[in-house]
Chains A and B, each alone.
Chain A
Amino acid sequence: MIKVSRLTKYYGPTRAVEDVTFEAEKGEIVGLLGPNGAGKTTIMRMLTGYFAPTSGTAKIAGFDIIEEPMEVKKRLGYLPEVLPLYYEMVVSDYLEFVSQIKGITFKERRAKVAKALGLARIEDVKHRIIGRLSRGYKQRVGIAQALLNDPEVLILDEPTIGLDPKQIIEIRELIKSLGGSRTVLLSSHILPEVSMTCEKIIIINKGRVAAVTDKAAIEGKDRIIVKLLGEPAKAAAALSKVKSVANIEQSLEGPFTVLTLESSGKEDIRQDVFKAVVESGLILVEMRQASHTLEEVFLKYTAKEEDAR
């Protein structure tokens, strides 16, 4: 559905994006993850036709972004990072205007606006002036705008930025519900954000693809943190016997010993860990699966990149 090949963008002599290649299948929710300034927005702006790439190209829904930009734009919904809202307009008037711009025929317009209002769950504010809505509702109006033309591909740039935790959860749910029939590409600089909504994650660093990975690898189901009472050396020895434990790091936290286990296998080893702790006569006070931090993920993948060279 989205096929990006060797996309490159220079702003004058400054490199913003270089040699970015990735793909997204139909129905997939794909996340672009990277720190601010990594080039996520630039990639999205090239895909949506906001500006042209310096070199390379991409295909969206089978159409080339350079050769047939109009066909691409017809099949695309885009939520820019800066919400494209006319603050003096009423929500329904605004959506009506956008549907005209997007070339939706007069006959279909009313139904499509109603559908977008429903999908973004903003029917209750449709008669209000956009400028007076809360940030969360403005974001939803932005999403409704992107959904108006029933796009095959939805591109969302930092869709949860500036929202409060409750709104973030709501928008996340909304994005998940939009997947399935549509291909969604979203960007974020927050790791849990991406790992919670996306199946496929593309890590962008300094304008390049650092890694293409999936949810599980980032969420770190393979890492378990165990907090227990007892001698560190004894505990480490007991747990190292558990099957498929590859690496143990130990540290002290007050009276407790904290061990970070990394498993090499795919299966859940928590039961085995529990048994091992009990058998060795130690007292378990806490056990949890740990997720990696963005820094760790970056280090992991950028280090790999260095090795490869």
Chain B
Amino acid sequence: MNAIWSISKRELRNYFVSPIAYIILAVFFIICGLFGYIVYVAKAPYAQLVYIMSLMTSIFMFLSPMLTMRLLSEEKKQGTMEMLYTSPITVAEIVLGKYLGALLFFGVLFFISLEFPVFLMIYGKPDLPAMLASMLGFLLVGGTLIAMGLFASSLAESQIVSAIIGFALVIVFWIMEFFSSAVSGSVGNWLATLSLSKHLESFNKGVLDGGDIFFFLAMSFMFVFLTIRRLDWKRW
């Protein structure tokens, strides 16, 4: 447990030592800020958070592979994985530490993004439950995207390759509904239920659906689990 926390703390610090954290935060908030200004200030002011939240989700979808690409790839490339593997900790602890580290960074990003709901609360009368639902949706989908990126990072030693695989995974799951339309019958229906965007709809409507919450948690769990299996399997 201590090891998980140590790894995630190091990971979070590592983000802020390299320029990557600042670039991701800057890109994210410049785009969101411009959009927010147009929607909430310049145009007819809509006091609904869901506009900015769905934009934030889309932008984070593009940025998340860059956030996760180096999680495991870098360790493998620079040889530190050998130290982690030969220390008295389990592979699960390593992977969970890494996942938590990236989640913490996402937490920082989420915390800064609270400026939008705060702004709406001050200048307008937003629908509070709807606002909270869309924020929860953003958190859940963020955790899922990071888990996918983490898995992609376990597949390659090169960060670029990891980023590309991660991006491909994200896109495929994002528009799974579209792909599934090509497959007829129950398989197609089943594939459609894996679509991230479809499960996000309820949150954006301001509805909390237990099934959708479970979906995102299960997807995150599955990709973290696959990452652990993948690393374990490689050692045999």
Which stretch, A72-80, A115-123, A196-204, A235-243, touches the partner chain B? Answer: A72-80
**Chain B neighbourhood of A265, CB < 8 A:** none
Residue of B nearest to A155 (CB): B86
Instruction: Contact check, A49 vs B17: say whether CB atoms are below 8 A apart.
Output: no
Interface size, chain B (Cβ < 8 Å): 22
Which of B1-40 touch A at CB < 8 Å?
Answer: 2-3, 6-7, 10, 14, 17-18
**Chain B neighbourhood of A78, CB < 8 A:** 82-83, 86
**Chain A neighbourhood of B17, CB < 8 A:** 88
What's the minimum C-beta distance from B154 to chain A, rounded to whole angstroms? 16
What's the minimum C-beta distance from B84 to chain A, rounded to whole angstroms? 7
Instruction: Contact check, A49 vs B86: say whether CB atoms are below 8 A apart.
Output: yes
Residue of B nearest to A129 (CB): B17
Interface size class of A (residues with CB under 8 A): 20 to 34
Which of A122-148 touch B at CB < 8 Å?
Answer: 145
Instruction: Contact check, B83 vs A49: say whether CB atoms are below 8 A apart.
Output: no
B79 touches A (CB below 8 Å): yes
Instruction: Contact check, A103 vs B78: say whether CB atoms are below 8 A apart.
Output: no
Chain A contact residues: over half helix, strand or loop, or mixed?
Answer: loop
- A88-B18 contact given A80-B79, A97-B6, A101-B6, CB 8 Å threshold: yes
**Chain A neighbourhood of B7, CB < 8 A:** 101
Instruction: Contact check, A145 vs B83: say whether CB atoms are below 8 A apart.
Output: yes
Which 3 pairs of residues, A with B, have the shortest CB-CB distance? A82-B79, A84-B83, A100-B6
- Given A45-B82, A70-B88, A101-B6: 4 more A-B contacts, CB < 8 Å: A84-B81, A84-B83, A85-B78, A88-B14
> Can you pick out 28 interface pairs between chain A and chain B where the beta carbons lie within 8 Å of each other?
A45-B82, A49-B85, A49-B86, A50-B85, A50-B86, A50-B235, A52-B235, A73-B86, A73-B88, A74-B88, A76-B86, A80-B79, A80-B86, A82-B78, A82-B79, A84-B82, A86-B10, A86-B14, A86-B78, A88-B18, A97-B6, A100-B3, A100-B6, A101-B84, A101-B89, A102-B88, A103-B2, A103-B89
